[in-house]
Each structure stands twice: as structure tokens, then as C-alpha cells.
Amino acid sequence: MKKVVTIIFILTSILSNGQTLEDYFEIAAGNNPGLLSQYKDFEAALQKVPQVKALPDPNLSFGYFISPVETRVGPQKARFSLTQMFPWFGTLKAQGDAAALMAEAKYQSFLDARNKLYYEVSAAYFPLYELKEWVRIEEDNIAILESYKTVSNTKFKNGLGSLVDVLRVDVLLKEARTNLGILKHKEIPLLASFNKLLDRKEDEQINIPETFGVNVLPIDYTKDSLVVDHPLLNSLELKVKAAAASERAALKQGLPKVGIGLDYVMVDERTDMVVPDNGKDVLMPMLTLSLPLFRGKYRAAEKEAQLMQESYSLQKKEVTNTLKTNYEMAVFDIRQQTDLISLFDEQIMESEQALNLLFTAYGNSGKDFEEVLRMQQQLLKYTKLKISALTQYEIALAKFNYITAKK
């Protein structure tokens, strides 16, 4: 039975001349050394296929008779031999199949590395959005506190407030300005972490979303779908098939090899008598057959291939279990952040209403200014927590996409 996971999908609006997160994915895919290394590994594996499918090199030998061997038609001077060995039928195909399957397995590993890189880029990108929003919120908070300070100062001068109210605002202002400074310094390591994934300069600036709209979007995906087309599982399945092809190749390598050759013998003429074909060179076809009598190495190669099949099958089962577990955790994280976003929206709305009422009462009576400040700080806390929940939601969604190998 299918599970429907209801999530909040955040539609990001970027400046028209800016780069989207998808653009950064492309930059990372083209620049990241680790991912490029994985692709080179795949390309190198492809070069193995023509190597193992090729026939062994022919053998050419030359011999010179220091003491000529006398024959009926004359003394032999030199001999040339050319031999080509042929593996048993199907050996080269089995070896080629094994190499091709291993190359395809490496390509699937590359796809998984690419998907993981996309997740890492997302996980480094959204904290920069969080930081930008926290800076904006803190700047707004400072502006509000400065206006509160002006109001409380005026109340104090008119005898409608106390000096304590002015001092309380000063304390909060100093804290807010310190927090703002810390936040601005935090941008340096976050930028460095993000740009490292794109193999760019550490301080290169990036475009961050200006606004967020919130819509409800259902994601329909089941755990069973994980095993259909996941690069990690595909890679292990291909390795199982490659090991099976290696087993067939090992079996055939234990069969005789056939060699076809040609011997050419140079003969001098006889001077002591006249004979038919005097001094005629000799051309002799040759047939060679190897005798694989020592079976230990062939049995070991077959057993090795069988054990590798079992190993890859067990690895596939382990990865499947891990993916299903990670899937449940990712779904939980998405649901958790969705609930928190809804909660913080309600708390922000109610805190704003309470703050307006408290500030109006303070304007009329000059009392309970401490409550005004407390509610303002509570509103600040909920606003920051909502931004953090949005950030964690996006990271959880990116992880979900990685686990499910969504394009």
C-alpha cells in the first residue's frame, strides 16, 4: 500500500539574472574533483574491455643453425616460426562480458556519487539562506529596539516611564548588535564550504533566494520503489553479473588452448651430389594444443568468482536495508519540519497580536514595558526558528531525493 507523504514545498524566487540551485548542481558536476575522478574511473574501466577480448599476441621465433643439420635436400641454415594461440571457444566473450559489466557498475557508482554531491551542495546552500534571513531578522530587530528606546526615553523624560526601561532596551540592543556581528562573520566558513564543492574560490559570492512562497505538495513514493532503479543497487547487481561472467571465463580458461603456426626452414644446396629438390626451403604448418593439467589455479579462479557473487549479493541486501531505514528517517525529518513550520507560523501570528496589544497598553499607561520587550524577543525567537525549520526541511528533502535517487 502506497504511503503519501505530505510536505511543504518551498518555491524559490531568484533574481532573473541569478543562478538557481540547479545551476550550482551543474557547476559542481562539471568541476568537483571527486566526481570527475569517479567518471575517469568509469572511463578507465571501459578500456579494459578491448584488452580482455583481444587474442594473445602471436609468437615469432628465429633460429640459426651454427652447425648445419644435413638433410636429403641439403643442410639447414635457419628457421622461422610463427604461432598464434586461440583460447577455448567463448573465453574471450566471457572475459569481455565481465569487463563490460564491471564498467557499467562503475558508471552506476558515478551516478550515485553525482546524486550524493547534489545533496551535499543542497546541504551547504540552504544554511547560507538561513544565515541571510537571520541577518535580516536581526537588523529588523535592532531597528525595532532603537524605536523602543526612543519611545521609552521620551516616556522617561515626560515622567511616564522609568530609567530601567531605557536600560533594558540598551542591554537588548548590545546583545542584538553582537549577534549581528557574529552572524556576518559566519558567512566566511559557510561560503568556503559551499564553494569547495564547486571547486571555486572560497570567497566567491552566490545568489540566495529573496523570497519564499509556501505551497502544499504531496510526494508519492514507497520504500519498495527504492529497489527498482537505484544506482547503488544497480551497481551491485551488475557486479554480481560480472562475477558470474568471470566464473564462466575461469571455467573456459581451464580448457585446452589451440595454436596454429607455420615453420619456414632455409636450406642450402648439396654440392656432393644431385638430388631432386636440391636446396629447396621447407614450409611446415604446425598445430599446437595446450594441456591444462595443473587444475588448482583454475578451480581457485572459479571459486573466487563464486564467492564474489555471494559477497555482492550480500552487499546488495545490506544496502537495500540501509536505504529503507534512511528512507524512514528522511520521511520523519520532512514531517517533523513541516509540523514545526506550521507551529511557528501560528506562534508568530499570536505573538504579533500579543505584542501589538502590549505596546498599545504601554503607550497609554507607560507600564509593563518589560512585557513588551519580552514579547518582542519571543517573536524574534519564533521567526528565527521558522527560518531554521525551512532550512532543515529543504536539507531533509534533498536527502530524501538522494536516498530515492530522484532526478
Residues 6+ apart with CB under 8 A from 389: 337, 340, 341, 344
Q: What is the CATH number of domain 21-31+87-255+292-404?
A: 1.20.1600.10
Average pLDDT over residues 27-43: 96
> Strand, helix or coil at 266?
strand
Q: Given the C-alpha cell 527498482, which residue does it identify?
A: 228
Give dist(CA 162, CA 151) in Å, integer: 11
Task: Flag whether pLDDT at 7 surpasses 50.
Answer: no
Higher pLDDT, 369 or 95: 95
pLDDT by residue (tens digit) across 301-354? Answer: 999 999 999 999 999 999 999 999 999 999 899 989 999 999 999 999 999 999
Q: Which of 34-43, 77-86, 208-217 has the lowest mean pLDDT?
A: 208-217
- At 239 the pLDDT is 97
With contact defined as beta carbons under 8 Å apart, do 75 and 268 qualify?
Answer: yes
Look-up of cell digits 575461469: 250
Average pLDDT, the chain: 87
**More confidently predicted of 67 and 189:** 189
Region of poorest pLDDT, from 162-166, 186-190, 346-350, 388-392: 162-166
Task: Give the residue-averaged pLDDT of 29-35.
Answer: 95
Comparing 101-115, 117-131, 248-262, 355-369, the range with the smallest average pLDDT is: 355-369
Reported pTM: 0.84
Question: pLDDT digits over 104-130, tens only?
Answer: 999 999 999 999 999 999 999 999 999
Q: How many residues does the chain have?
A: 407
Contacts of 347 (CB under 8 A, 6+ apart): 382
Q: Which of 364, 93, 392, 46 shows the shortest CA–CA distance to 252?
A: 93
For residue 219, what pLDDT is reported? 55
Q: How confident is the model at residue 278 (pLDDT cuts 50, 70, 90)?
A: confident
